[in-house]
Every structure is written in C-alpha cells, then in structure tokens.
A and B are shown apart, each in its own frame.
Chain A
Amino acid sequence: MSGHHISSAKFLWGVAISLFFLTFITVAVTWIQIPGPWNVVVAVAIAVVKSLIVAAFFMNLWWDSKFNVLLFIMSVVFFLLLIGITLLDTLFRVDPVPSF
C-alpha cells in the first residue's frame, strides 16, 4: 500500500502558506538591492527551495516510490548537463555570433 499518502488539510495549508511566504521573500529581497551576481543567486536559491517544497509535499515525492524521486533527480541532472555543456561553448567565444 504505497503511494496513497493522505495529507491533512492543515498540512496542505501549511505548505501553501510557506510558499506564499517565500514568494514574499523573493519580492522583498529586490527592495534591498543585493549587489552583483548575488541577487540572481538569491532569487534562484529561493525558487529552488520553493520547487523542492512543491515536489516533496504537493507532488508527494516525500512519500512516493524512490524510483519516481530518481526520475525527478535525473531530469534536473540532465537539465544541468544541457546548460553546463552549452555554456562551455557560449561563455568562451571570442565574439558572440554577431547576428545573434
């Protein structure tokens, strides 16, 4: 009997409120103007935390079969691979293709 975890209404509300709160934080950090690349790092870090909360407690990966968790992790790994290998090219071009 796996996969039939029933979350309580209170718990689901708690998850949503934490997501609302983190959305507020995302907006609030833009008011204090974090310098340099750190504003992007902070914004993406909060987005990652939010999506992990959604994946774990709304998409029920926390209680789900490990294989589904593995699939999710692999999609992230291949996404990072896609970006990593692309940037190895585009970041080190002498000049970017002019018409691009």
Chain B
Amino acid sequence: MPETFDTEYDHNKEFLTVRTSRNMLESFDRRKIVQSLIKETGISKEIAEEIALEVEETIKKLKLKFISAPLIREIVNVKLLERRLEDARRDYTRLGLPVYDATQIIEKGVRENANLQHNPETIHKLVADWVMKEYALLKALPLHLADAHMRGEIHIHDLEYFVTRPYCFQHDLRWFLKNGLKVDGTGENTAVAGPAKNAEVAILHAAKALAAAQTNFAGGQGLDFFNVWLAPYMAGKTYKEIKQLAQMFIYELSQMYVARGGQVVFSDIDIEYGVPKICQDLPAVLPGGVVKDSITYGDFEEEAIMFARALTEVYLEGDYVGKPFFFPKPNYKLRRECFKKEGFDEFMILVHKVVAKYGSPYFLNLLAGYLPDNVFAQCCRLVLSPDNTDWEDFKNGCMRTGSLQVVTINLPRIAYESNGNDEKLFELLEERMKLAREVIEIKRDIILKRMKQGSLPFLTQDVNGEPYYRVDKVVRSIGFVGLNEMLKAHTGEELHESKDAWRFGLEVIKRMMDIAMEWSEETGQRWVITQTPAESASHRLALLDLKEFNGKAVVQGDVKTGAVYYTNSSHVRVSADVPLFERLRIEGAFHPLCNGGMMAHVWIGESSPNPELLWELTKKIATKTLIGYWAYTKDMTFCRDCKNLSGGIKKSCPNCGSSNVEWYSRVTGYYQRVSGWNDGKRKELFDRKRVNLG
C-alpha cells in the first residue's frame, strides 16, 4: 500500500516528517493510518481512529529524530496486539528481513542451496526469497500448516516459490520444434520464433525453451527423448558437425547463468540408444516444423545414435579447463531392446568412461520390470510413469507433466512421538500425510489463480485448446526423510541391521503408497510418493528434532557442532559398512513403492574404475536389483591455481600442492561445489562409505 501522508493537514508538520515507502519526505497525517488500517485489516473506523491517535501521541512522546513509514507501522502493530487484534496485525505487518541479515546476505551469501553462487543476482534472489517465504507462511498457509513446517513435522519445499510457481516439469521438444518458441509465453514482450528450419536453431530453441520455462518453475526442467526428437535435424550431417551441435547445447545449458537469481537452468536430458520401439512409428517433426505421415522417427535411427554418441563424448571431454558438465544432467535409459542393437555395448562403455572420469551419467532402469516404456527422469530424482492420457499426449506430440509441489514427512519425528507403538506410528503417519495433502491442495488453488491472473504466462500458452500447464495432470509429491532413523528409534535396529527392520520399513512406505493411491482414486488427481532429495530438509529436520527430542533423537553426524543430518529417504545409512549389492538390494526394494521418484547412489570416491567392468556392474544392478534410477558419484578436487582436476576430496592439489582448491561431489541428485553445501550435508560427504572399484 502507498504509505504517504497528506500535506494539507499540517497540524504537526513542523516536527513530524515521515520518510515514506515511496522514498519521499512528507508530513505526518494520522488519517493515513486510519485509512490503511481499514483497507488492509477491515477493522472498524472507531478502533482505527483510536489507534491512529495513540500512535501519534506515542511518536510525539518519543521525540524521534527519524520517523519512517515502516517505523510507524511497527508502532501500529504494537497497538493492534495490545488490543489482541492478532489477525489484523498479521494482515498489517510488513514482510522483510532485519538489517543485520540483509548485510550478511549481501556480504556473505548463504549455503542453503549448493547451486547458489554469491553474486549480485543471488543476493537479490535471497532477499526476495526471504519475503516470499514469510509471505507463504504468514498469508498463504493457515497457521496449523505453517507451524507444522516450522516445528519440523513436515518440510514444505521451495517455500520461496510457494505462491508463485509450480515445482518441476518435463517438456516435449516436438511441440516447440513444430510450433516455434515464445519465450515469454505470449510473444508480447519478446521476439517470436517460428519452427526451427535447421539443426543449429533447433538446438538453441531446445536450450531457450528450458531457460524460459525455468522462469515459471521452481525446480528442474527436463527434455525426454532428447536425441530422438532432434535426430531428423541431424540428417545429412557429418559426425563432426553433429558433435559440434551437441557441444553447443551442453555449453548453452551449463553457461546460461540467468535462471532463478543467477543460476544455470536445472536441466535434464534423457538419452536413448537409437530410436526406441515406442517412437519408431510416430510421424517425425522435421525442419521447419513440417510433419509428414510417411516420415517417422524410425527413419532416423542412425542419426539418433550418432547424436547420443556425440553428446556422450562432449560429457567425456568436459569443459575448456577439464571440469565436468553438471547440467544438463544426462539420463541414460537402459532398455531391453537396446541389448539387441549393434554397437550398444561399445556405446555403453563410452558412457562408463564418463562415469569413471566424472561420474556425470544417471541411469534409468527399464529392466527392473516395473517401469513403463515411456517413463522419464528429471529434476533431482523425479521418475514418473505416465498414465493412459499421457500416452495419448505422447502420440499427439506433446507429452508433458511434472510435479506441482513436494512436501516431505519427517519420519523419525513420528517414531519419537509414537513411543514404540505401531498403531500410533501408522496413525501419525497418515495424519502427517494429510497435512502434506492440505498444503498441496492450497498450492493447487494458488497456481490456478496465478494462471488466471496471467502471472504464469509460459504455462498458459495454448496447446490445442488446453493450457500448456495442466494443474490436474501433474503429480502431487509426498516425500519422506529418515526412514533409517525412524526404524532405529522405533525398532532399535537400522534398515540394514535386520530383515525385520527392513520389512517394517517397507510396510511404512507401502502404507504411504496405499494412502496416495486411495487419494488418487478419490480425487482423480495423481498423488505419488517420492524419495525426497532433502538437500536442506535432512539437516533442518535433524536439528529441530535434536532440540525438541534431545536424548531420544537419532541423528547422524556431529551433535556437538550441529553438523547433523537424517539419512535421505529410505537409503541405508551412508556410513554403514554394508557390501554394495546388499545396500542396493535393500534400497532397491523401496523403489517400486516410490512411484513419484527414487534414486540410489553408488559412491565411488576417487577411483577411476575400468569402464568395461563398470558397465558389467551396471548390467548387474539393472538386472539383479529393483533400483530404478541411480548414479555413480565420483568425488573430485579442482585446483583453482593450476586447473588440475583429480579424483577424491583432497586438501591440496596433487599436481602443484596448492591448497586453493574446490571440491565437487553429488550433494543429493546433482553435482555441485562442496563449499556451497550446508554443514549437515558436508558432514554426510565425509561419512559416506565409498566402494573401491579401482
């Protein structure tokens, strides 16, 4: 609201000059307080006038040298509270951060999100995040939900974007190739591009579509069948030209430092070996957006393979100074049909050379027997199995879906509160899930409202009479953290310590899945269970529980320093001395229950395994376990002085001895600089039990 004060009413102007929020100096006028109180809080005129008079008297008594509109507002708030008008105070208060905290952000930044560098854009983002988080907790969410988050019963992810954007999305590049690109969603603020007529432009459109979408989403942006949909544009090109295009795309997405307050786009591409059977008969979108029934994707098998290979080689080479590309995250799909294709083994050995050197690839396992043919992976670990209507979209050239919002359940907290009583534990589990559901239902209404208000223009673009973003087609994600600590607190044993504890853990997550399925039937919307990445949640919730349940809380890390964390989702404790396949067998059992996303990690430390043996290991994981999605994480030390990259977490550069080094590892579902990690995650990094594949 404009906090100005009328100059014509000047009974006290000689000593009360107000610095307004419009950056003007004006004379105090208590009528402005009356007007704003009535407008913003709906209280009666009588009370508003009484408060305004009191405020004026207080200000006069204080004989202040500096009076500003925010200061007046603070005094008004006290007067509201004195009258027990708490709701009115909530509506009238200002949002923002203390001067001290603003200074800290400006001068030091924060470490809550490892992707955030300390730069002018992120400083603006962090200050804005503060206001938007407060707004979400104060205004958008009812008190019982805001408090459930603050107490640590649940963790509402991306609160800073809660009232403005949905979470993450998987796009269908064919739609942009066929229709061109309006990066602002309307074409009114930016130039409008028609369908790409050549490969270079198609590549740029793919990169810009993700960057544009990122401005309307909080989380990851993915492109499924990336090399398949672009294969027709590679026709007639030499391998060298195709590799140049692959390089262009990867550099675009790892260098456009513009999204969400100075970050690269959180991007994924799904890479196929050739053209999968499900795509072969689909009419291909050709240069110029032309579609002919007689030309299908099956006609571009060779180009799809060449492009997949080229992308992989670019990942293998790394950037100009030899660092890996962290984004776009490459997801390689393992399909049974690929094993029959010529050159697949050779291709996968190339992929595993990238694993051995940088750890960058991710594997989506269609051999486990429970994921459908058009499953995709994106963001930190969102793995979604499309439903029947998605198949229709897939055939019609615009399959698109994502997650609206993630809310995580703090599982260990439930164990502390249920005191060993199974019945109570399952009762609390359902209760917490209902809190999560309430949050997500509010989010749905908010996003629908924003779409109507026109503040999500990329999402309201028209696709054959429907908006690009269909709120009721995306999933509602309920995550969980700390199953291992829940089991320890409830059964006395950790996940890996007994078959019974493992079984009880499976019962807990199955109950969650059953509830989500019941809700899906009841609402006609898609409720799913996901293994939360918990980059900040695992640390925040462990800290809160330690404070609230001291003596009872089971946390990992260092209690003395506060560098504590919960084990992610249904993972085995990272430091547990468990053989690799036993770990994967235990963790894999949970993957079919997590229909909204899952991920397993194989920590390979500093080793550079033989790519051929590593490929054998991948095949074994794919065929012998239920792991649906996983990555091998290699720790790396990069020397800022001599630019040498070496394996492992080292205090100094093994090449030049400099201690001016940066470490890289996978924080949760993506690689990032360790210096940006929170204390809990840093401790976890050192606790991780690596497998020696050297």
A-B interaction: no
- B residues contacting A by CB (< 8 A) are none
